[in-house]
């Protein structure tokens, strides 16, 4: 089925461990994004990618690494997880909305708890 999927849906890990969150989209959208959502902060951009092999930092990139070897995949890695990285993570891709404006399509999210 066409869409954007994230895995896992839930993840519990310990501080200092490496964790990778997966994101896959079937629309061949050029742009893909990783956001984190914490209470009272809305969505904050971690990293984004304009195309395969092109990535750029967002608002809160520290402690995260991304790669995009293929257009459809955009994994996010926490190199050494910390408790402050406990959050809900959303992957998104960009299509075209009405009037030619931006329209983001979001995955279902990954709820990550770092103990």
Q: How far apart are CA 8 and CA 24, in angstroms?
A: 12
Q: Give the Cα-Cα-Cα angle 90, 70, 75 (nearest 5 degrees).
A: 30
Q: Structure tokens of 75? A: 């994994």
Q: In this chain, which of 1, 40, 62, 69 binds another protein, going by CB under 8 A?
A: 40
Q: Which of 2, 10, 28, 101 forms a contact with another protein (CB under 8 A)?
A: 101
Q: Say whether residue 2 binds another protein (CB under 8 A).
A: no
In the DSSP assignment, the letter for residue 30 is S
Among 7, 11, 61, 106, binds another protein (CB under 8 A): 106
Are 111 and 21 in contact by the 8 Å Cβ rule? The answer is no
Interaction between residue 22 and another protein (CB under 8 A):
no
**Residue 90 contacts another protein per CB under 8 A:** yes
Structure tokens at 18: 């490496």
Count, residues near another protein per rule CB under 8 A: 24
Residues that bind another protein (CB under 8 A): 33, 40-45, 48, 56, 58-59, 90, 97-99, 101-109
């Amino acid at each position: 089925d066409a869409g954007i999927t994230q895995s896992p849906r839930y993840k519990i890990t310990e501080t200092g461990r490496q964790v990778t969150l997966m994101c896959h989209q079937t629309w061949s959208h050029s742009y893909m994004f990783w956001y984190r959502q914490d209470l009272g902060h809305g969505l904050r951009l971690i990293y984004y990618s304009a195309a395969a092999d092109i990535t750029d930092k967002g608002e809160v990139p520290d402690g995260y690494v991304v790669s995009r070897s293929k257009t459809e995949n955009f994994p996010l890695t926490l190199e050494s997880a910390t408790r402050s990285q406990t959050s809900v993570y959303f992957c998104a891709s960009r299509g075209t909305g009405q009037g030619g404006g931006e329209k983001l399509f979001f995955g279902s999210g990954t709820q990550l708890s770092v103990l």
